Amino acid sequence: MSAPGSTLRLHVEDPSPLLEAAFRRIEAETMAGVPILNSALQVEAVGFTRWQDHWLGIVITPWFMNLMLVPGKADTWQSVAPGLRLFRNFPSGDFAFLGSDESEVGEFQSCSLFSPMGQFADQAGAREVALAALAALQAEPVAAAPAPSKDAFEDPKQAALERPMSKREFLGSVFRRG
């Protein structure tokens, strides 16, 4: 369902060129001269493929790297108002996506992976990390061995607590691979 008062724009074809146009416009209109921009990077849509009737990929800009979800089919799309979040379930876990709307694309949702982008030396490195993040996002988590009991350690600081992996840990593991 689309947000009240708006018309949902569905994308039959890869929305990469539209996303790139939108973020190039944003870069020119509102980001010029902003100190967090990484001049080694440019706007690029990476790895967009169909996912549950919609388009999933990553947009790299000189100021962020975000997962993007763009509507492909009306009856399975869940709208969320701009600035509000919706949790989406992937094999690797749940991720919060923010509602967005840009004239070139229409409604879409984004999940921040990196911002600012100072840790990337060049576009090729950012693209490699983006593709690794997409692969990791859709991979089933590896089952961890059961944590030993606290009694197994002489030093209680070494006792591990079982908990789900945070988004920061997930992205850290992807970034270290890239």
Identify the CATH number of the domain defined by range 16-140+172-177. 3.30.1460.40
pLDDT in tens, 28-56: 999 988 999 999 999 999 999 999 999 99
pTM higher than 0.85 for the full model? no
- Return the H-helix or E-strand segment holding 172: helix 167-177
Beta bridge partners, 95, equal 88
Which one has a higher pLDDT value, 92 or 16?
A: 16
pLDDT in tens, 122-156: 999 999 999 999 999 988 877 666 666 655 555 54
Measure the CA–CA gap between 1 and 128, rounded to whole angstroms.
Answer: 34
Give the tokens for residue 155.
């030093």
What's the burial of 81, exposed, middle or buried (CB within 10 Å: 0-12/13-18/19+)?
middle
Measure the CA–CA gap between 52 and 55, rounded to whole angstroms.
Answer: 8
